A and B are shown apart, each in its own frame.
Chain A
Amino acid sequence: MAAPSPLATRIVEEHAAASDSLPAGVVSRERRRSAIDTLAVQGLPTSRDENWKYANLRPLDKVRFAPLAADASANADALSPVTLADLPPRIEGYARYTFVDGVFFPALSAPAERTGISVVSLRSDPERAKRTPPAYALREQSPSKDARFALLNEAFATDGASIRVAAGTDCPTCIELVFVANRDSQTAASYPRVELHVEAGATLGLIERHLSVGSDANFVNTAVSVDIARGASVNHYRVQQSGARAIWFDTLSAVLAQDATYRLHGVSLGGLSARSTINVQLAGERADAGIYVVSLGDRQQVQDAFVLVDHVAPRARSEQIFRGISAGRARVTFNGMVVVRKGAQGTDSQQSLRGLLAGPDAEIDVRPQLEIYTDDVRCSHGATAGKLDDNMLFYLLSRGLDPETAQRLLKWAFLEDVVAKIEVPELRRQIEHSLAGQLKDAAALKELL
């Protein structure tokens, strides 16, 4: 066996040093051990790995992997430099749970008691870790090598949110999780963690935000597991607005049972280097997944997403829509893979991936990938990457609009159909403002909002 890479060696060492202070209630010692053992052997992905070519992995050489010691954060409420004013406005009807550097902060939260809904901080409920393994542990096959960052989270996580929605509960306007990264990447890492179990027939609306307060150069490594039981339905909104120098990694694994519905809306704006690895498994018949992603990159940003939709069961449906804009010297990529396994007959799978190049030095890459092992499938796939349409641009200029406004308007229009899918009006407005801000023309676009 090859010797562990220097990076893997450092992870193992940092883990050994931190291990005593890592709360066993969040992830059991055995699971942490096994995660670190796997990482020691496999290391973290490198740009030589097939699905990691476009991610910016270099900053990992300089980050500290260990989180803030548990006792420090236990007492951190009083010390926190994060205040309510740093957080985005609350959205009516959504109970808020705020985590700073991965640890639950009651003072910044606004929980709500709701019948059938349980939200607990992972470290406050040590027994829970034994009862409910996360979704990727439930899969029929072992976690893929693309989930190695989730193992890193498993090894180091200091807290997280465990959400359980009881069978038949109806809560479409429900929970908001706010993950604030606060420490510099050289001081401590932040490990946001979510374990979501939605029982049969329940409905849930979940907002998940990621932002930076204090240092804008954090190392954040998020792991989210989503388990949706028979006939249940989840609307999941994820907004990534980390600081300009943040290194942001993310692994989301979802498993959908029979007749389950999952709508995943991702908006990725922040970070210097961001990578999302999303794996949605349609494990039950007629499961239905929609994945809608918007990424904007500017300056030196890297926005990389890898989405695997895995059709295991028959007659399931999936849709992926991606819209990305790359400006400055940024790199924006979306790699959308669909696997239709043997036995997944009657699969209906659609992809519409579009990238827009908004500058001579920008880079964009959209890649649809298809692996089909059964005959009876309906798959439609469209992927385009290009510049703004000259005809549209000239039309707007011929009406007297200045070139900058015309371009921003067209960029806006390019994103519009995905943004319009956000069904929470207040959240959509907030996101539209952020997008307009990133397109650097909030004033000219304000009337659109």
Chain B
Amino acid sequence: MLKIENLHVSVDGKEILKGLTLDVGAGEVHAIMGPNGSGKSTLAYALAGRPGYEITAGKVTFGERDLMSLAPEERAREGVFLGFQYPVEIPGVNNVYLLKAALNAARKHRGLPEVDAFEFLGLVREKMKVMHMDEAFLSRGVNEGFSGGEKKRNEVLQMLMLEPRLAILDETDSGLDIDALKVVANGVNTLRSPERSVVLVTHYQRLLDYIVPDYVHVLVRGRIARSGDKSLALELDRRGYDWISEEAA
């Protein structure tokens, strides 16, 4: 599904990712952990195509396609979804309008007609229920005045609407209370299927109790320093990152 080979990414001339290799198969959930500043968000942004994230070496294939050759909106339409660590507030752009525009952009790309207004509302309502979100959020500006946790739920709501083939969730669990964490995890689990893959960036092994990953990777200084299964997350929880950093050095 997603194949990252020897990826080097620079931001403002500074190399952040220094030869990252990662293989995410269809239907798999990969958790990426690692110390602050190790490059997790950089990886997420580079995959989503954020301007300013310069690919200096390496290759990323998504399905059959060279992901890095696609514009950000094309990646999204191909089924890549980024849940932002810090979702931006866009006052004046209606939340429900964005949902609909995003859904229709993806449908158009697949040669499908625009979603019927009635059907669309039904769909949104259903997904909002999963996310325990009040319908009042629909008519507000995108993330405008949302609390930290509400923003994260809104990200997952968008993901549920768009049903991406690859969801990259950058610390979607940060800032959530315990109930919200379960709601978000439930949202992600709803999406899990043999043809969808998820990359979860997280600092907390607790999330992985609810979304059980197939693999756990530790990113240190721009490279994957260690990979394992769920037990690696438990070990990190006990021991921290130092031992891996030292090994990697």
Contacts and interface: CB of A to CB of B under 8 A. Distances in A.
A395 B90 contact: yes
Contacts of A394: 50-51, 72
B21 interface: no
A1 B94 CA distance: 61
Contacts of B141: 413
Interface in B100-120: 100-102, 105-106, 109
Contact of A398 (B82, B93, B109, B142): B82
Most chain A CB atoms below 10 A, which of B77, B82, B88, B100: B88
A417 B92 contact: yes
A408 B71 CA distance: 18
A399 B92 CA distance: 17
Given A392-B88, A394-B72, A395-B87, A400 B162 contact: yes
A410 interface: yes
A401 B101 CA distance: 7
A386 interface: no
Interface residues of A, number: 26
A447 B117 CA distance: 11
Contact of B76 (A391, A399, A403, A412): A399
A396 interface: yes
A406 B82 CA distance: 17
B97 A448 contact: yes
A294 to B, nearest CB: 13
Nearest to A444: B101
A396 B92 contact: no
Contacts of A414: 92
Nearest to B102: A399
Interface string B54-89: 000000000000000001110111000110100110
A163 interface: no
Contacts of B98: 396, 399, 401
Interface string A426-449: 000000000000000000000110
Contacts of A50: none
A398 B97 contact: no
Given A390-B51, A395-B88, A400 B102 contact: yes
A365 B50 CA distance: 30
A401 B74 CA distance: 9
B48 interface: yes
A409 interface: yes
A397 interface: yes
A392 B73 contact: no
Given A390-B51, A394-B50, A413-B141, A399 B90 contact: no
Most chain B CB atoms below 10 A, which of A398, A416, A447: A398
A417 B158 CA distance: 25
A395 to B, nearest CB: 5
Contacts of B82: 398
A306 to B, nearest CB: 27
B93 A410 contact: yes
Contact of A416 (B88, B92, B100): B92
Interface string A257-272: 0000000000000000
Nearest to B92: A413
A61 interface: no
A389 B81 CA distance: 21
A321 to B, nearest CB: 14
Most chain B CB atoms below 10 A, which of A401, A405, A447: A401
A113 interface: no
Given A395-B84, A412-B92, A402 B105 contact: yes
B66 to A, nearest CB: 18
Contact of B91 (A398, A402, A413): A413
A398 to B, nearest CB: 5
A328 B118 CA distance: 39
B100 A410 contact: no
Interface in B124-176: 141-142, 158, 162
Given A394-B51, A397-B71, A410 B105 contact: no
Contacts of A402: 73, 105
Contact of B93 (A390, A391, A413): A413
A401 B105 contact: yes
A222 to B, nearest CB: 31
A236 B93 CA distance: 27
A184 B162 CA distance: 54
Nearest to A391: B88
B53 to A, nearest CB: 10
A447 to B, nearest CB: 6
B196 to A, nearest CB: 17
Interface in B169-209: none
Contacts of A416: 91-92
Nearest to A445: B97
A407 to B, nearest CB: 12
A389 B93 CA distance: 13
A412 B142 CA distance: 14
A405 B51 contact: no
Nearest to B73: A397
Contacts of A397: 49, 71-73, 76
Contact of B97 (A389, A390, A447): A447
Please give me the 10 A-B residue pairs with the lowest Cβ-Cβ distance, nearest first.
A413-B92, A416-B92, A400-B76, A400-B105, A399-B102, A397-B72, A397-B73, A391-B88, A413-B93, A400-B77
Interface of A: 389-392, 394-403, 405-406, 409-410, 412-417, 447-448
22 contacts: A389-B88, A392-B88, A392-B90, A394-B72, A395-B87, A395-B90, A396-B90, A396-B93, A396-B98, A397-B71, A398-B50, A398-B75, A398-B76, A399-B105, A399-B158, A400-B73, A400-B102, A413-B90, A415-B92, A416-B92, A417-B91, A417-B92
Given A395-B142, A403-B73, A413-B141, 5 more contacts: A397-B72, A397-B76, A398-B50, A399-B105, A401-B102
